[in-house]
Amino acid sequence: MVLEEERAALCAVGRRLAGTGLVTGASGNVSVRSGDLVAVTPGGMMLDRMRPEDCPVVDVAGRLVEGERAPSSETPMHLALYEATPAAAIVHTHSTYGAVVATTMTELPPIHYNTLLLGGVVKVAEYATYGTPELAANVRAAMAGGKRAALMANHGGVAIGGDLDEAFENARLLEWLCGVYVRAKTIGEPRVLTDGELARVVERGLTPPEFPPL
CB 87 within 8 A of CB 143: no
What CA–CA distance (Å, rounded) separates 179 from 177? 5
Question: Residues near 196 by Cβ (< 8 Å), separated by ≥ 6?
Answer: none
Q: Please pick, among 5, 6, 68, 74, the residue that the annotation labels catalytic.
A: 74
Contact 150, 124 (CB under 8 A): yes
Q: Is 74 a catalytic residue?
A: yes
Burial class (CB in 10 A: 0-12, 13-18, 19+), 142: buried
For the beta sheet containing 37-40, the strands, ordered from the edge strand earlier in sequence to the opposite edge, are 64-66, 57-59, 37-40, 29-34, 89-93, 156-161, 149-152, 122-125, 107-108
**Residue 206 amino acid letter:** L
**Do residues 181 and 108 lie in contact, with contact meaning Cβ atoms separated by under 8 Å?**
yes
Question: Which residues are known to be catalytic?
Answer: 74
